[in-house]
Amino acid sequence: MTKQSSIYQSVKLSKDSSIKIEDSLVIEAPLQININNEAYTVVMRTPGSDEALIKGLLFAEDICKKNEDLKLSVVKTKEDYSTIINADIAKEKLGKGYLNKRTLLSISSCGICGKKELKDLKVAGNTLKRKDTVCIKSFIETTIFMFLKMKELQKTFKVTGGSHACAIFNKKNELLTIQEDIGRHNAVDKCVGDLISNSQLKEAKYMLVSGRVSYEIVSKAFLAKIPFIIAVSACSSLAVDFAKEFGICLIGFSRGDKMTVYANPQFLV
């Protein structure tokens, strides 16, 4: 069976304790799909059943409806589970969806979908430099306050139960913006865009998200120079890897007075 999780060192925090633990995180890695030896798109996925994923995606996108019209072959795979697979489909068998050059159905929940090649995933910029640290006890209290504020203002979620939220606060723990969307990444983009519109992006310090954190959300926070990401749910393996590289303090499973720090715990003392 293909490995689908990895062990990461992390720190579990509460008001009364700080414990180093080993945590299992779901693996997130890019899969580049070529069609007839030309790069078509990249999707982020958990390794395993890649051929089934491609067949299902091409079916949904009206690119190839019949199994017998499709031949898949692995072009390259690496130790970090990034993989390139070519789909060989006769030109006369290509469906109308191929001409759209990506109208991927999952775009609202996968911010990376639509990239064509693995090299497109690189994010340029210098590691964020921290000049100050935050007291653990006060940080936990602040986080509880910020999540309560975010929850209070999630109007769409209260009505539907089906939207994600992102909220961004400044160093004084003041709410700068909150946005909701069906897609986690869209909510983040809306928040950053709102701050740009109001010339407040430089004030952003804490990004809170209602769901899990994957590679794309960490990249968006890095580009916006936001040093803290705090999530209600889990973090993917690639999110942790990039947060460490980018100098972002990444926190998951923030619920009440408990949370798990996956990257750069030295910012909390």
Q: Tell whether 73 and 114 lie within a shared domain.
A: yes
pLDDT of residue 234: 95
CATH code where residue 41 lies = 3.10.20.10
**Same domain (yes/no): 114, 137:** no
| Residue ranges making up the domain that contains 246 | 125-267
Res 98: pLDDT: 83
Give the three-class secondary structure for 189: helix
In the prediction, which pLDDT does 109 show?
A: 46
Q: Can you give the pLDDT at residue 122?
A: 67
In a domain, 7, yes or no: no
* Catalytic site includes residue 110: yes
| Residue in this structure with the two tokens 């925090």, named with its chain if needed | 13
Ranges of H-type helices in 30-94: 50-60
Q: Which residue stretches of the chain have pLDDT < 70?
A: 1, 100-116, 118-122, 124, 130-131
d(CA 141, CA 196): 28
Residue 113 within any structural domain of the chain = yes
Q: Are residues 174 and 235 in the same domain?
A: yes
pLDDT value of residue 120: 65
Q: How far apart are CA 122 and CA 236, in angstroms?
A: 17
What 3-state class would DSSP assign to 92?
Answer: helix
Alpha-carbon dihedral 121, 127, 133, 137, rounded to 10 degrees: 10
Q: How many helices (H) and strands (E) does the chain have?
A: 6, 12
Annotated catalytic residue within 110, 113, 166, 249: 110
130 and 221 share one domain: yes
Q: What is the pLDDT of residues 69-118, one digit of tens each?
A: 999 999 999 998 999 999 999 999 999 888 765 544 444 345 555 566 76
Q: Where are the beta strands (DSSP E) in the chain?
A: 5-14, 18-26, 29-35, 38-45, 71-77, 83-88, 164-169, 175-181, 206-209, 228-231, 249-255, 258-263
253 φ/ψ sector (left φ>0, alpha ψ -120 to 50, else beta)? left
Tally the domains of the chain. 2
| pTM score of the predicted model | 0.83
